[in-house]
Structure 1
Amino acid sequence: MSQTDLSDARVADAPSRNFVYRTLPRWLWPYAQLARWDRPIGWQLLLWPCLWSAALAANVPGVAETGYGIGAFVWHSILFTIGAIAMRGAGCTYNDLVDQRIDDQVARTRSRPLPSGRVSRNQAKIFIAAQALVGLLVLLQFNLFAILLGFASLAFVAIYPFAKRFTDWPQFFLGLAFSWGALMGWAAAFGGLALAPVVLYAGAILWTIGYDTIYAHQDKEDDVLVGVRSTALLFGTNTRQWLIGMFTGAVVLIALALALAGASLWAYLGLAAAAAHFAYQVHRLNIDDADQCLALFKSNSQAGLILFIGLTLGALANAITALPPVY
């Protein structure tokens, strides 16, 4: 296969060495691109609030007495991972259906499967249904409250693709959808909610606005031409100051969530390390360097991982203290 044929089958902003192009049959490539399997950063960012919340629940003193131990935490983490990949793929496919005409006018996105004609709209709709079915099967493994809460998130998923048409804050609507896992992990553990996961959710929303503003600076020129809106355009040259506020607010709210849940020192150390990562992003940011904006955006998965490691260590410490004494 010629290099030209290969490039015609890929999208402009996807890594060419991804496993999609090395292992999957070529007929699956357009569907993998619709689901963004060649760009895992999206499902990773969707997953981290789920895992934070599940780990936060495992930090609660005496949680083992409720039946939510380390084994349940690990099982829920596996389910959330599968669900995040499936639902992020379904959401991206839906987004591409809504934005097909806009994507055709933006240099970075016109090579996507729908605007390039490699997948029909009907094929994309069938693919959404298949991915949503996987997500549903995962959701049904949880308690009734978590199932209903999961369905409630679909309202924000449906609204988000249209947000850039009616508000300068589409990143806020992305945060409402992408941070929903901050509620789900706790709900799956306890069958209800408390103030701690709600505050965690608010912190995750601010984090999402911050990292997606960085991402949006890649497309600001095209967005002006097409007539869509974003916080990158709204903040402009004041983006660094806005990011300081968003990331600081996220850290404060997450710290409050840790305190409300009775999390251990490990969780706070993880948050401190994540805060240092946020500061690094703000320091390094050049809003006129698209490649750097993309790299900094992707680095937020590292920040999510850092906080998750701290929370997980706190959960393990909590589980150890709950063990009966050995005589």
Structure 2
Amino acid sequence: MTENDKTPEGDAELGTVADSAGNWVDHWAPAATRGYLRLSRADRPIGTWLLYIPCLWAVALACLATNSFNAFSIWIIVGCGIGAFLMRGAGCTWNDITDRDIDAKVARTRSRPIPSGQVGVRAALAWMLIQSLVSLAILLTFPNMAVLLGFLSIIPVAIYPFAKRFTWWPQVFLGLAFNWGALLAWTAQTGSLAWPAVVLYVAGIAWTLFYDTIYAHQDTEDDALIGVKSTARLFGDKSSTWLRYFLIGTVLLLGLAVVMASLDRSILSLVVALGGPWAMGWHLVWQLGRFDPENNDRLLMLFRSNRNAGLIPVLFFAVAFFL
């Protein structure tokens, strides 16, 4: 690793975080709120996008399957967006509470709010509860089955921070948590859970394995020193091969979900909808071609580019609905 590839330290006096300095929270947010906003990763919106995109996939495919788009569909899109921001914030807060001792030992994370002393553990717990309660208020506007799924999502969210302690595959648990919106949003739109949503959920998990393995390569040295497990450490020099498997799985499963949701659509609509997984696949191929496990700046750039990758199918699905 070259000097340019190293993650800079955060500024303890200013309270900045090493891998997210110079953002809107640092410059514009009131000083008293900055630690809490950093706990929620409001300074790093990519995580909210990655939580929200499976919801958009699901709403779009559910609209294709039912040939229906109405005012409540718009509320599902808006509500899931707000909920993604809040639940991602609550999940990150929980993650930082449980990982505070580990974070203090890792260069990239020791400047986070709890290990750096910006926010205490009790205050963090209260902040997590506030975010969760507002999310609950939004969830209760959805159909009963979707509300039940919302409550069940707490299970993978609660387990994920501990996964790196007992399995080499914590990215699977992240995928289970981050793609739950595919099940919830489909059910909110249609009133019931169906197989296309389940296949979509598994496609999202494959995608999470792809992008979070890339992300985890930033911490392999520190993780090895403190005994934290990850797919990046497990795969090592074979990571490119495994990323190719996850890429193929994402595209094939997303394509299968499209076919299952479009059985009653016209051939043209189906073909256009299938263009979404295909185009997203090429974006993932582009990422794989630039993957360099020794370059942290490149790894972070590729990870963040998955917002654009995930939004590509949404555009295709939206066009297909009107055909």
TM-score range normalised by the length of the shorter chain: over 0.9
**Cα distance per residue 1:29-55 (max 9 Å; x no partner):** 100100000000001000000110011
Q: Distance in 2 between matches of 1:121 and 1:176?
A: 26
Match of residue 308, structure 2, among 302, 306, 322: 302
Distance 1:208 1:48 in 2: 12
The equivalences for 1:47-62 within 5 A come to: 47-60=52-65, 62=66
Q: Structure 1 residues 6 and 110 mapped into 2: Cα distance closer, same or farther (>3 Å)?
A: closer
| Structure 2 residue matching 1:118: 3-state secondary structure | coil
Where do residues 38-117 of structure 1 align in structure 2 (5 Å cutoff)? 38-60=43-65, 62-64=66-68, 69-117=69-117
CA RMSD of aligned residues (A): 1.4
- Residue identity matched to 1:169: W
| Shift of residue 74, structure 1, vs aligned partner | 2.0
**Amino acid of the residue matched to residue 232 of structure 2?**
A
Alpha-carbon distance in 1 for matches of 2:182, 2:133: 22
**TM-score for both structures, normalised by structure 2:** 0.93
Structure 2 match to 1:152: 152
1:135 aligned residue: 135
How far apart are 1:229 and its partner, in Å? 0.2
Aligned to 2:25: 20
- Compute the displacement of 1:102 (Å): 0.1
The offset of 1:21, in angstroms, is 2.2
Deviates more, 1:4-13 or 1:201-210: 4-13
Q: How many residues align?
A: 308
1:142, distance to aligned residue in structure 2 (A): 0.2
C-alpha change, 1:70 and 1:269, in structure 2 (3 Å) is farther
The answer on whether the counterparts of 1:187 and 1:193 sit within 8 Å (CA) in structure 2 is yes
Q: What is the SS of the residue equivalent to 2:218?
A: coil
Equivalent position of 1:239 in the other structure: 239
Looking at structure 1, the residues matched to 199 and 309 of structure 2 have their Cα atoms a distance apart, in angstroms, of 18
- Cα pair 1:156 1:177 within 8 Å, conserved: yes
User: For the residues of structure 1 that align with 2:319 and 2:193, how far apart are their CA atoms?
Assistant: 23
Amino acid at match of 1:254: L
CA contact (8 A) 2:206 2:249 kept: yes
Length-normalised TM-score, structure 1: 0.92
> For residue 119 of structure 1, what is the aligned residue in structure 2?
119
Aligned to 1:288: 294
Q: Secondary structure at the match of 1:218?
A: helix
Kept after mapping to 2: 8 A contact 1:55/1:73: no
Structure 1 contact 15–39 (Cα < 8 Å) conserved: no
Q: Which residue pairs with 1:29 in the alignment?
A: 34
Report the AA paired with residue 301 of structure 1: R
Mean Cα deviation higher: 46-55 or 72-81: 72-81
Cα distance in 2, alignment partners of residues 5 and 282 from structure 1: 33
- The aligned counterpart of 1:314 is 320
For 1:217 and 1:20, the matched residues in 2 are separated by: 26
Structural mapping, 1:203-222, within 5 Å: 203-222=203-222
Superposed displacement of residue 312, structure 1: 1.6
Structure 2: runs of 5 or more not aligned: 1-9
2:55 maps to a residue whose letter is C
CA distance in 1, matches of 2:128, 2:291: 35
Checking the alignment, whether the CA contact within 8 Å between 1:169 and 1:230 is kept in structure 2 is: yes
Distance 1:122 1:267 in 2: 47
Matching residue's letter, 1:284 = R
Note if contact 1:274-1:304 (Cα within 8 Å) is conserved in structure 2: yes
1:11 is matched with which residue: 6, 17, 32? Answer: 17
Q: CA deviation at 1:138?
A: 1.0
Q: Secondary structure at the match of 1:8?
A: coil
Retained in 2: the 8 A contact 1:58–1:70?
no
